[in-house]
Structure 1
Amino acid sequence: MVTRRRFLQGMAAFTALGQFGSLTAMAEGVQEGLKAPSSGGGTAGEGVLRYVDVFVGTGGHGHTYPGATRPFGMVQLSPDTYNAQWDGSSGYHQGDGSIMGFSHTHLSGTGASDMLDVLVMPSMGPVLLQPGDRDFDGVNYVSRFDAKKESGDSKEKGWRSGVKGYRSHYTGEQAHPGYYRAKLTRFDILAELTATLRAGMHRYTFGKDGDAHLLVDLAHGYADAMDKAANVTDAELTLVGNDTLVGGRRVWQWAAGRVIYFAMKLSRPVSSLTLYSDDKPLPKGSTTAKGDHLKAALHFDQASREPLLVKVGISGVDIDGAMRNLDGEMPGWDFDGIRAAAEAEWERELSKIRIDASSDKIKRTFYSSLYHTMLAPTVFSDIDGRYRGMDKAVHALPEGRHNYSTYSLWDTYRAEHPLLTLYQSERVPDLVDGIVRLAVESPSGAPVWPLQGIETVCMIGYHSAVVVAEAQAKGFTGIDYAKAWPVFRRRAMQDDYFGLTYYRKLGFIPSDKEGEAVSKTLEYAYDDWAVAHMADALGHAEDAALLRKRSQNYRNVFDKDTHFMRPRGEDGTWLQPFDPIAIGHSKRWRDFTESNAWQATFLNQHDVYNYMTLFGGEQAFEQKLDALFNADPTLPDDAPPDIAGMVGQYAFGNEPGHHMPYLYAYTGAHHKTQARVRMLLETMYLPEPDGLPGNEDCGQMSAWYVMSAMGLYAVDPVSTNYVFGSPLLDRAEVRVGEGRTLVIETKDNGPGRPYIQSVTWNGKPWTKSWIPHAELAAGGTLAFVMGDTPNEAFGKAVADRPPSFG
């Protein structure tokens, strides 16, 4: 994640100042939703869908995709513009000028790359087998598309009549939740995409006469920048009848060895088929191919000028599963009905939070962010309940449950999952019991970053423990916590896992024995805190006491002389040389994960008051926080691009820093939290392609905005408490489940008025700078009065500060 170009990296400091039935019913439902007035102060007019800009994050280093999907959908049908660059890890980047084709799976905002399964590209004339690259040369099968940027006041007039003010970024390329379209200028083909939960539908309108075909590239995927070929094995393609192509493949990419199957049907018969292996045509008449590098050209009669419709179901189980998903979710060819159903579902889910704000810019940023929080985790189970587990075996789910994938847990435990416990509470049992299922089935134990049945072991710690412990502490049922306990206890107490043996023996991980040792020590300490809560809740008091004590191991990498977290050797000595802006002690190893000593020094989320004593007290800790935000923002030349969104040495563009502005609340200087949070809300996010301060990371970057704009943040999710920030919205209505509504409203809010003057909860004064989840989840009204000068008395009393370590 690299700092946004327009954000001043040299800024040294901030001056404190339901369900639908038929497709027809779904279409009617979305139209009614768009017309429905707000219930008590939400967005009036034609619904909230109009505020979502799916192109946010597709430029800069956001790594998002603009294509069609459903909330938490298994299919993400989206264009691929390039597949061999870091900023194209979603397959798409706003700066590219050509489209390689449309594939059915994509990652939202990750720094690592995979997916891009089953590429389909409509074309005309001779079959071309090489994709080419973004520097379109007119020879390969990529096509230019009109990516001319429109003005901010432009409107898309074609996607639905009656919707006013919809903002599109490109002439010829337009999209909104559940729908994407682009004009492929090479052959004058209009491509349109929509999706159900497990299937995608394409509609291709050909503007020219001539020989037309679809190229299906089963070798396509995220490629190494050098060889530009995805590592695929065990691929197969078969034509069934004259209108159905099925197949599957195994991909050795980030999630090494994952398998995916598909079933594709066309709305008109295939006039001829050519299969290719290693880019060589198989004998005429071949209808089946197996190998590692397969493609198919499906030719069809272009005498009819009717659009060609293509529908594709996917499965992680087998081809039969892909076919059942396709037939079960797309029995007909009603593209517009499926699109309307997708719009209806997105409108329904987005409307779970209705807001009023002082500008359309805030509304667009908020709802674009809320949209991104529903792109992961993703369903990874078939319509019949079968799924491929982490043990590579096929399992069956209990009726009514879903299996999920794409858990970016190092990121999302911080704000994404706490947010879901508020406005997606009905999904939490499926999402968290899914983590338990993954843990029990996985040979590697506690999940870290699972993707399509494969543990990627990406990032440090094992923060699935935090998500499980948070749900347990918040009282969610339908989750087998007892089944989870042995797996997480084994990781905490026994596993020889990335330095944990040293951690248990020495109380820290030595940097001369293990990479990223300081960060690992700190994150294992927080995981200990989470597992201790699990132990307490299940009656394992002795384990809980041990883990709580061990969660203070952060002390063992804190240097009281420099007041920094520092690398130590196995013999206990502080390693030299030491520079707080450096990433590693030497070229031989790295001491920190995507951070330096400045940022690592404030990673403590659960034991803040005891931690302050190491600095000499709360005033010294507050001064150190001030120094973080006011330091010279210079980074060493070898700093990874993930250290981004710099304010002093504070790196907002990477997730470990997300709680840090809220730490002032623990010192009694809550007004500084208010000022910092408001500044970040107003400067780090914009509703445009380069509108994110760093990678989106499966919803976490957006969840920070959603939570903070409502005035809330979970510094320690396991505690179940939310610390107040500086609410940006004038009003928010959050459906917290079972008919209950949380209303958050502000008075005297606006630009230059970030400071909380007073708070009431259900009409009664609330002097604390925090509030428990149980209060909010019960429903009620949280009201803030804002001002342009700090009320330093608010949250200052010790009794009003957030609890920490109990």
Structure 2
Amino acid sequence: MFNRRDFLGLVSLAAGHQALAQSATVRKATKSASKPAGDVTKWVNLAIGTGGHGHTFPGATVPFGAVQLSPDTYNEGWDWCSGYYTTDTSIMGFSHTHLSGTGASDLLDILLVPRVGDVKLVPGSRENPEEGYRSRFTHATEVLEPGYYSVMLDTPGIKAELTTTERTGFHRYTFPANETSHFVLDLFHSAGNPEKTVGSAEIKIVGTDTITGGRVIHNWAPTRQIYFAMQFSKPFASADLYSNQEKQSGTEVKGKMLHAVVHYKTADSEKILVKVGISMVSAENAMLNLKKEQPAWAFDQTRLRAKQTWSRELSKMEIETDNENDKKIFYTAMYHMMCAPTLADDVNGQYRGMDQKVHNVDAGQHNYSTYSLWDTFRALHPSFTLWQQERVPQLVNCLVRMAEESPGGMPVWPLQGGETFCMTGYHSASVMAEACVKKFPGIDWNRAYKQMRKRNMDEDYEGLAFYRKLGYIPADKQGESVSKLIEYDYNDWACAHVADAVGRSDDAAIQRERSKNYRHLFDPETQFLRAKMSDGKWAMPFNPKATGHTKEHRDYTESNAWQSTFGVQHDVKGYIDLFGGREAYLKKLDDLFAQEPGVSNENVSDMTGFIGQYVHGNEPSHHILFLYVYAGQPWKTQQRVKEVLDTLYHNDLDGLSGNEDCGQMSAWYVMAALGLYAVDPVSATYVLTAPRFNRASVRVGGGRELVIEAKRTSIDDAFIQSVTLNGKPLDRLWVKHTEIANGAHLVFTLGAAPNKDLGADPAVAPPSLTA
């Protein structure tokens, strides 16, 4: 296991602090229709997250699509994990795969570059684009819409337009009159240094209008295979192949640094279209995908279908508000929630497994990639169990297959047939267990538990042997030992539920008891979770704002003792008892928000969005605001959630407080704005907070809706006075999944002052491992 910070080696940190050349969009109430009318795609602002540290891409894709066709402005450095950053003024070209908001980089496959003039096979520098095939551009000419991207490439004077289907990219380029028009296909372009990442490649010219090929990449995912089939609407005047920038004879070439160049003479405003199918199996499958999904040269129809697909999916939630910025933030967040996981099978049902072998999915199933599980188990996957219910069994079955096929076992952070082992824990177990407890059909739980048990009970994975034997992981034996323990505690909790479901109550008892291992690292004197050494003594020196007791021994993953001390999600009641009761726990929780922000011993790029020592820009903090509900002061949750929604999400380039992380940062916004958050997803419950919108409806499938209303007399009414569920008053501020997943009506009455009695009784606290 390593974290994202280790992978990138803090490359180009200084670049991440560039001043954004933009004006902030002030959040204010504006007059508009209260309900999104017709096409809700108009509320999506794809520029959100392309600045700051959001790491999103602005290009074309469809929901959960395998192809993300987007411009690459640079391919190295932390703020270019998606290949695009808003301060850049030149574009390298357009590649077909991207990561959405991750803290590590990979993909950027199959770069196509439209040009006029001399052939250049290197991109050139951002400072001097004319050195290579880069083109200058301005954001003023960009058009960003769900399923469509367009920009004017100033240097060659070419208009670029992009759209997609699930497995194909579709390009349309409008050229000037020129006898030296051409395309460069750069198969050496990758995320990071291609000298290190590109293992091998091949390109084949087929006839006068087609190129096929593929490559093997060794990057964040240790080994990936990606193949393509590319067709042009106009026959080539000529075509050239290059290896190591030397022109080759013939129509096929194999090597490492490969390029193809196809030449044209173009008339003024002549359009040349390019269709590209991709596959992780073979170029033949890429061609099958292309023929099935993109048989015609109908660019506008493909663009329209992509937009209609987005409109259908985005319309699964409708909100009523007079604040246009809130609408844009909400629907852009929904959009980003559907950029991962990504489809990873072909139209014939074949896919490349985690064992690098070719497999076939069963009828009605799909294979997926890009599971940022350490992030997304917290809010993204719980949200899917409401508004993407039909997709949940497919996603879980895919995780089960991955566990069976992968040499690494249970998925941790799988990417296109490779396991990155990124981040702590093995939260595929958490996603599986949530689906089990919520009784999703079509999943073989005996088959799933066999893989879960192997990791949980037998394997010596990243300190698990110490965890099982000692009840903690010694800091002198494993890095990030405290965070690993917290995550393993939750994974135990998850596995116990599936163990019960398949009749392994003996395992479940062990796992539930072991999920209390956090007790072994709780220091009653300082009231922090702290690292211990092999001899059982506390690791010294200790500073709660430090990531570890020395720079060489980080004890916490992208966090410090302040955030990690509140990392217990499944046994909050037991944890409160460990503190000595609610009063002591609440004091510590209040202290978290009163501290000076920052980390004392190093610069941690992922730790952003500070409110005191609460760090909204990174996922370990995401449930913390809701812990007040467990401790009897839910009004503080309502207050803090509003603060985050008001101050840490914006309709702007720097609109996210941290990495998007494949939808988790956005999922937090969507769920919190709806007034629901799953602190403990495996418990199949949601904590309630004050909804942001006057009315929201969530289509949960089967023609049913979850309707959430907020009755307020003023925009400043942010505290819950009372709640009804299907017309019946609630004396608690949490609901069961079964109470809302088949449709329900939640009505919140809000006021300007807190109701400190509602939800305060310990008897109505959300459920916990400890009763």
After TM superposition, the score normalised by the length of structure 1 is 0.91
How big is the shift at 1:726? 2.0
Helix, strand or coil at the partner of 1:420: helix
Worse-matched range after superposition: 468-477 or 394-403: 394-403
User: Which amino acid in 1 is paired with 2:697?
Assistant: E
Query: 2:117 matched to which residue of 1?
Result: 125
Deviation at 1:5, TM superposition (A): 9.4
Q: Does 1:232 align with 2:201?
A: no
> For 1:130-153, what per-residue CA distance to the aligned partner results, in whole angstroms no more than 9, with x for missing partners?
101322342210000112xxxxxx
Report the CA distance shift for 1:345/1:42 in structure 2 as closer, same or farther (over 3 A): farther
Q: Decide whether the 8 Å contact of 1:749 with 1:785 is kept in 2.
A: no
Does residue 732 of structure 2 align to residue 768 of structure 1? Answer: yes
What SS does the corresponding residue of 1:68 show, helix, strand or coil? coil
Amino acid across the alignment from 1:221 = S
Counterpart-to-counterpart distance in 1, 2:126 and 2:731: 57
Q: Aligned to 1:270, what secondary structure does the other structure show? A: coil
> Which residue identity is paired with 2:636?
K
Which amino acid in the other structure matches residue 181 of structure 2? Answer: A
Q: 1:137 & 1:388 partners in 2: Cα distance?
A: 37
Preserved contact between residue 358 and residue 730 of structure 1 (Cα < 8 Å) = no
For 2:235, the equivalent position in structure 1 comes to 269
Are 2:552 and 1:560 aligned?
Answer: no
Q: What's the CA shift for 1:573?
A: 0.4
The equivalent of 2:210 in structure 1 is 244
Counterpart residue number, 2:707 = 743
Match of 1:91 in 2: 83
Query: Any residues of structure 2 matched to 1:782-801 within 5 Å, and which?
Result: 782-801=746-765
SS at match of 1:239: strand
455 and 749 in structure 1: CA distance in 2 versus 1, 3 angstrom threshold: farther
Match among 612, 616, 633 for residue 580 of structure 2: 616
Over 3 Å counting, the alpha-carbon distance change for 1:128 and 1:6 in structure 2 is closer
* Residue among 410, 417, 426 paired with 1:462: 426
Distance (whole Å) between structure 2 residues aligned to residue 124 and residue 766 of structure 1: 68
**What amino acid maps onto 1:214 in structure 2?**
F
1:530 positional shift? 0.4
Say whether the 8 Å CA contact 2:92–2:123 is kept in structure 1.
yes
- Asked if the contact 1:723–1:770 (Cα under 8 Å) also holds between the matched residues in 2, the reply is yes
1:787–1:229 distance in 2 versus 1, CA, 3 Å: farther
Query: Is residue 136–residue 143 contact of structure 1 (8 Å, CA) maintained in 2?
Result: no
Q: Quick one: which of 387, 409, 429 aligns to 1:445? A: 409
Aligned residue number for residue 424 of structure 1: 388
Match of 2:676 in 1: 712
Per the TM alignment, residue 44 of structure 1 is displaced from its structure 2 partner at its CA by 3.9
- CA shift, 1:575, in A, is 1.4
Question: What pairs up with 1:134-173 in 2 under 5 angstroms?
Answer: 134-147=126-139, 171-173=140-142
Q: Is the 8 A contact 2:280 2:344 kept in 1?
A: yes
Report the CA distance between 1:340 and its aligned residue.
Answer: 0.2
For residues 255-309 of structure 1, the C-alpha deviation after alignment (integer angstroms, 9 at most, x for no partner) is: 11110000000000011111111111113xx210000110111112314743000
Measure the CA separation in 2 of the matches of 1:334 and 1:175.
20
Counterpart residue type for residue 189 of structure 2: H
Partner amino acid for 1:478?
Answer: G
- The one-letter code of the counterpart of 1:268 is K
Contact 2:474 2:534 in 1 (8 A): yes
Report Cα offsets for 1:291-346 as digits up to 9, x if no partner: 01101111123147430000100000101100000010000000000000000000
In structure 1, C-alpha distance between the alignment counterparts of 2:580 and 2:626, rounded to whole Å: 20
Question: Which residue of structure 2 lines up, in the alignment, with residue 63 of structure 1?
Answer: 55
Q: Which amino acid aligns with 2:71?
A: P
Which has the larger displacement, 466-475 or 586-595?
586-595
- Give the secondary structure class of the aligned counterpart of 1:307: strand
How far apart in 2 are the matches of 1:5 and 1:614? 44
Does residue 630 (structure 1) correspond to residue 599 (structure 2)? The answer is no
Write the distance in 2 (CA, Å) between the matches of 1:200 and 1:699.
Answer: 22
Is the counterpart of residue 394 in structure 1 residue 358 in structure 2? Answer: yes
Q: 1:333 aligns with which of 297, 307, 312?
A: 297
Per-residue deviation, 1:749: 6.2
In structure 2, the residue matched to 1:259 is 225
Shift of 1:586: 1.1
CA drift of 1:249 comes to: 0.2
* Offset at residue 552 of structure 1 (A): 0.1
Listed one character per residue, the Cα deviations across residues 331-375 of structure 1 (whole Å, up to 9, x for unaligned) are 000000000000000000000001111300110000000000000
Is contact 1:221–1:229 with CA below 8 Å preserved after alignment? no
Cα distance change of structure 1 residues 312 and 5 upon mapping to structure 2, 3 Å threshold: closer
Please tell me whether the aligned partners of residues 42 and 731 of structure 1 are also in contact (alpha carbons under 8 angstroms): no
SS of 2:45 mapped into structure 1 = coil
The equivalent residue for 1:753 is 717
> 2: CA distance between counterparts of 1:87 and 1:242?
39
SS of the equivalent of 2:607 reads coil
Q: Does 1:196 align with 2:165?
A: yes
Find out whether 1:72 has 2:64 as its counterpart: yes
Q: Which 5+ residue runs of structure 2 have no aligned equivalent? A: 6-12, 21-31
Cα distance change, pair 379–750 in 1 and its aligned pair in 2 (3 A): farther
C-alpha distance in structure 1 between counterparts of 2:329 and 2:289, whole Å: 34
Residue of structure 2 equivalent to 1:679: 643
> Residues 25-52 of structure 1: CA distance to partner in whole angstroms, max 9, x if unpaired?
xxxxxxxxxxxxx9xx972434211100
Aligned residues of 2:223 and 2:417 also touching (Cα < 8 A):
no
Q: Secondary structure at the match of 2:284?
A: helix
- Please tell me whether residue 477 in structure 1 is matched to residue 469 in structure 2: no
Matching residue of 2:152: 183
Q: Which whole-Å CA distance do the structure 2 matches of 1:137 and 1:540 have between them? A: 63
1:221 has 2:190 as partner: yes
The answer as to whether partners of 1:70 and 1:342 remain within 8 angstroms in 2 is yes
Tell me what 1:543 maps to.
Answer: 507
Q: Helix, strand or coil: the match of 1:312?
A: strand
**2:649–2:657 contact (8 Å) kept in structure 1:** yes
Inter-CA distance 173–441: structure 2 relative to 1 (3 Å threshold):
same
Superposed counterparts of 1:577-726, under 5 Å: 577-726=541-690
Q: Structure 1: which 5+ residue stretches go unaligned?
A: 8-37, 148-170
Matched residues in 2 for 1:47 and 1:84: separation?
37
Aligned residues, how many? 746
What SS does the aligned partner of 1:418 have? Answer: helix
The code of the aligned residue for 2:143 comes to Q
8 Å Cα contact 2:368-2:398 kept in structure 1: yes
Aligned counterparts of 1:234 and 1:480: Cα–Cα separation in 2? 38
For residues 656-704 of structure 1, the C-alpha deviation after alignment (integer angstroms, 9 at most, x for no partner) is 1000000000111000010001110111001111000000000000000
Cα distance change on mapping 1:660 and 1:250 into 2, 3 Å? same
Deviations 1:762-789 (A, max 9, x none): 1111121100111111212101011110
Give % identity.
53
Asked whether the equivalents of residues 68 and 195 of structure 1 are also in contact (C-alpha less than 8 Å), the reply is yes
Aligned-residue Cα RMSD (Å) equals 1.6
Conserved? CA contact 2:136–2:155, under 8 Å:
yes
Give the TM-score taking structure 2 as reference length.
0.95
Aligned-pair CA distance for 1:475: 0.7
Q: Aligned to 1:59, what secondary structure does the other structure show?
A: coil
Change in CA separation of 1:4 and 1:217 when aligned onto 2, cut-off 3 Å: closer
User: 2:95 aligns to what?
Assistant: 103
Q: Which runs of 4+ in 1 moved over 4 A?
A: 1-7
Distance in 1, Cα, partners of 2:208 & 2:37? 48
CA contact (8 A) 1:90 1:108 kept: yes
Secondary structure of 2:720's match? strand
Aligned partner letter, 1:195: T
Q: Distance in 2 between matches of 1:751 and 1:138?
A: 53
Separation in structure 2 between the aligned mates of residue 5 and residue 565 of structure 1, nearest angstrom: 35
- The equivalent of 2:25 in structure 1 is none
Mapped contact 2:200–2:215 kept (Cα < 8 A) = yes
* 2:343 aligned partner: 379
